[in-house]
Amino acid sequence: MVSELDSRATGRAVGIVGAGSIGVAFALVFARAGWRVHLQDPDAGRRALVTGEIGARADALRSFDLVDEANEVLLERVVVHERLEDAVKSVELVIECAPERVELKRELFARLDALAPKDALLASASSAIPVSSYASELVGRERCLVAHPGNPPYLIPVIELVPAEFTAAEVVLRAKEVFASVRMRPVTVRKEIEGFIFNRLQGAVLREAYCLVRDGVASVEDIDLVMRDGVGLRWSVIGPFETVDLNTRGGIASHAEKMGPAYARMGAARGQYDPWTPELVEHVDSVRRTLLPLDQWESRVNWRDEQLMRLLQDRIKAEDAGEE
Ligand X SMILES: NC(=O)c1ccc[n+]([C@@H]2O[C@H](COP(=O)([O-])OP(=O)(O)OC[C@H]3O[C@@H](n4cnc5c(N)ncnc54)[C@H](O)[C@@H]3O)[C@@H](O)[C@H]2O)c1
Task: Report the residue number whose CB is nearest to ligand X.
Answer: 20
Tell me, rounded to whole angstroms, the distance of Cα 55 from its chain centroid: 22
For position 46 contacting ligand X by CB under 6 A, the verdict is yes
For position 18 contacting ligand X by CB under 6 A, the verdict is yes
For position 122 contacting ligand X by CB under 6 A, the verdict is no
CA-angle at 301, arms to 258 and 251, nearest 5°: 30
Question: Is the separation of the CB atoms in 116 and 94 below 8 Å?
Answer: yes
Question: Is the separation of the CB atoms in 35 and 42 below 8 Å?
Answer: no
Least distance in Å: CB of 248 to ligand X?
34
Contacting range for ligand X; rule: CB under 6 A; set: 133-141, 143-151, 189-197, 276-284: 143-151
> In the chain, at which residue ranges do the beta strands (DSSP E only) sit?
13-17, 36-40, 78-81, 93-96, 121-124, 144-149, 158-163, 185-188
CA-angle at 2, arms to 21 and 90, nearest 5°: 60
Terminal CA-CA length for the chain = 45
For position 113 contacting ligand X by CB under 6 A, the verdict is no
For position 41 contacting ligand X by CB under 6 A, the verdict is yes
Residue type, 19: A
Contacting range for ligand X; rule: CB under 6 A; set: 92-100, 174-182, 283-291, 314-322: 92-100
For position 248 contacting ligand X by CB under 6 A, the verdict is no
For position 13 contacting ligand X by CB under 6 A, the verdict is no
Q: Identify the residue among 16, 98, 122, 135 touching ligand X (CB under 6 A).
A: 98
Q: Identify the residue among 2, 6, 10, 21 touching ligand X (CB under 6 A).
A: 21
Instruction: Please give the residue ranges that form the binding site for ligand X (CB under 6 A).
Output: 17-23, 41-43, 46, 97-100, 104, 108, 125-127, 148-149, 151
